[in-house]
Amino acid sequence: MELTYYLDKGASLDPSAPCLTMGDSSLSYADVQELSWQVAAALANSGIQAGDKVAILSGNDSTAFACVFGIARAGAVWCPINPRNTVAENGELLDLFDCAGLIFQGQFAPLVAELRARLPKLTTVVCLDETSADATPFREWLAGAPASHSPAERVDDIAIIAGTGGTTGRPKGVMITGRNIETMTALTLMSYPFRGRPRYLGLAPLTHAAGVLCFPVLALGGEIVVMPAPDLTEFLRLVTRHRITHAFLPPTLIYLLLDNDALDTADLTSLQCLWYGAAPMSTARLREAIERIGPVLGQLFGQSEAPMMISTMSPAEHLHEDGSLALERFASAGRPTPLIQLAIVDSDGKTLPTGERGEIVVRGSLVMAGYYKNPEATAEVSKDGWHHTGDIGYLDADNYLYIVDRAKDMIISGGFNVYSAEVEQALMAHPAVRDCAVIGLPHEKWGEQVTAVVQFHEGQQLPVPELLSFAKERLGSVKAPKELIVWADLPRSKVGKVLKGDIRDQLAANQ
C-alpha cells in the first residue's frame, strides 16, 4: 500500500468528513485529496520524477502534512526534516538524501537561504505560507500546474527516508517502504482499542512517531487535530473540545502533563489510547498516569528502522483481569507483535533462553529496506538475517520484553554487567526525582563507576546520601550508583530523549 491509500480509504468512508484540523480551520478528506493531486501535478511540472526525494521542513502544520500525500502521488519519496535541527544537521540530511525538492514554512526561510548555496541538487524550493526570495510561493506554484488525477508509476517501494538521530557520528538515511508502513498500520489496528471513528491529537512532531501514527487513523476515516506548538495546557483543552480518542506523548511530556495544574479538572473521558514510547518510562510515573488519566495508557516500542511496533502493551494489558494494576509488567515494553519475529542473542548470534539478557534482534516485513546509499552500515545491522536493534533486553516466561539498556550504554563495574535502565527505574521510584540518567565513568578499581545524574521536581530537594541509600536498598551495592550528581535539567535531543553522550562528555571533562 502506498501512503495515499490511507487517505483514499478514509475518503471512501465519507469524503466530507474532517481529515486535518488546525485551530478553527479544517480540511475535509475531499479537500486533502484534491490538494494532494495539485501538489503531485506541481511537482511533476517542476521536473520532479518518480523516485526523486522531496523534503518537508515544517513544524506541525495541516497543509504541510497534506503535502506528504502529494509527494506520494508523484511517485516521489517523502523526507521528513526536523525543524529543531541545526542548519548544519539539516544541510547534511538534505545532501545525504539527494533531495531534489524542498517544501518549507516561511519561518525557516533564513535557514533555507543559508542552505541553498550548499545544495546544488535542490532544484525545486517552495515556501508554504509567505513570499521568500529563495523560493516559489506555494499558491503560485500550485496555480501553475492544474491537478491531474493520473498517479505516477513508482520506481520501487521506498516511501520515506528518515534520518537517524545523528547523535553519534554521521546520520544515516533509513529507507522505509510502503510494506513497512502497511505492517506498522496493521499492527497498530490489531494491538490497541479503536472504537468508532478516531480523533487523533498530534502534539509531538509529525516528522517522527506522531506522524506515522496518522496512517491507521486515516484508514478508519478519523480526524487528525494538529497542534502547531507543544503546549500541554492547550493539549488538555483540545482533548476536551474535540473529544480526542488517541494521542501520542513521549515520557518526558507525560511527566510534564502530570505536573500540569489543569490535568485533574480536564475531561479526558473520550480517550481510548494515550500512546507512550520513544524512551523508557518511570514505572512510578506510569502508575500515576493511569491513576489520574485513566486506564488508557498504551506502550509501543520500535525504531526508525522498524517503525513503532516491534512490541506493544495495550491499555488492557496494564491491568489484571480484576481491574487491578499489573505493576509487575510496568517495566516491560510489552509483548513482541504478531507480524515480526524477535529473539535475544549473545555476541556470537546464538539465541538465548528465556530470562537471559542479550541483544534484541528482529526480522519481518516491519524492518526497513536498508540505509540509503550505505551498504556497509546496512550489512552490519542486518548480519545473520536479523535486524540488530542495539538494545539489550530479555523475555520473561509470559513473553514480555524487557529493555535494560542500549548495548553501548551497558556499564561493566568490577566485572559485573550493570544495566542503566534498571538503575534509572530505581531512582525514578523516589517521588522527588523528576528524571535521571545513569552512565559509566572510568574508574581505577572498578573499571567503570556507576554514576547517576538526577533532576528533581521543581521545589523539591533531597540529600544525596538519602537518595543513594534509597537506590542501594533496591539494587544492592554493585548496581547502586557510586556517585550521584544533581543537575537543574538534563540535555535532551530534539524529540526529548536524554543525551547520555553529552552527559558523559561533560562529566569526563570535569574529571
DSSP 343-404: EEE-TTSPBPPTT--EEEEEEETTS-SEETT-HHHHHHHTGGGSEEEEEEEEE-TT--EEEE
CB 180 within 8 A of CB 307: yes
Residue 409 has pLDDT above 50, yes or no: yes
Q: What is the pLDDT of residues 279-298, one digit of tens each?
A: 778 888 999 999 999 999 99
Distance between CA atoms of residues 9 and 178, nearest Å: 15
Is 24-175 a domain of CATH 3.40.50.980? yes
Residue 327 has pLDDT above 70, yes or no: yes
Given this model, what pLDDT does residue 277 score?
87
Of 126-140, 163-177, 193-207, where does mean pLDDT reach its minimum?
163-177
Give me the mean pLDDT over the 239-259 stretch.
93
Distance between CA atoms of residues 250 and 234, nearest Å: 17
Q: What is the pLDDT of residues 194-224, one digit of tens each?
A: 999 999 999 988 887 789 999 999 999 999 9
Given this model, what pLDDT does residue 215 score?
97
Residue 360 has pLDDT above 70, yes or no: yes
24-175 and 410-510 share one fold: no
Q: What does pLDDT average to over the chain?
A: 91
Give the strand order in the sheet containing 401-406: 340-345, 358-364, 387-395, 401-406
Q: What is the pLDDT of residues 67-78, one digit of tens each?
A: 999 999 999 999
Instruction: Give the whole-number percent of the chain exceeding pLDDT 70.
Output: 98
CB 58 within 8 A of CB 103: yes
Give me the mean pLDDT over the 464-485 stretch.
90
Q: Where are the domains of the chain?
A: 24-175, 410-510
Distance between CA atoms of residues 236 and 442, nearest Å: 45
Confidence of residue 364 (pLDDT cuts 50, 70, 90): very high
Distance between CA atoms of residues 197 and 185, nearest Å: 16
Distance between CA atoms of residues 260 and 140, nearest Å: 43
Residue 493 has pLDDT above 80, yes or no: no
Nearest CA among 494, 450, 376 for reference residue 82:
494
Distance between CA atoms of residues 296 and 201, nearest Å: 15
Residue 169 has pLDDT above 70, yes or no: no
Residue 165 has pLDDT above 60, yes or no: no
Q: What is the pLDDT of residues 17-51, one digit of tens each?
A: 999 999 999 999 999 999 999 999 999 999 999 99
The CATH superfamily assigned to 410-510 is ANL, C-terminal domain (3.30.300.30)
Given this model, what pLDDT does residue 447 score?
77
Of 270-284, 336-350, 400-414, 471-485, where does mean pLDDT reach its minimum?
400-414
The pTM assigned to this predicted structure is 0.85
DSSP 249-293: E-HHHHHHHHT-TTGGGS--TT-SEEEE-SS---HHHHHHHHHHH
Q: What are phi and psi of 230, to 5 degrees?
A: -80, 80
Question: Distances in Å between the alpha carbon of 163 and those of 13, 491, 493?
Answer: 34, 20, 14
Residue 131 has pLDDT above 80, yes or no: no
Distance between CA atoms of residues 378 and 386, nearest Å: 11
Residue 448 has pLDDT above 90, yes or no: no
Given this model, what pLDDT does residue 167 score?
42
Instruction: Give the whole-number percent of the chain exceeding pLDDT 90.
Output: 70
As beta bridge partners, residue 20 has 27, 224
**Which cell goes with 26?**
479544517
**Which cell goes with 9?**
480509504
Our CA angle for 128, 131, 134, nearest 5°, is 90
Confidence of residue 153 (pLDDT cuts 50, 70, 90): confident
Given this model, what pLDDT does residue 166 score?
45
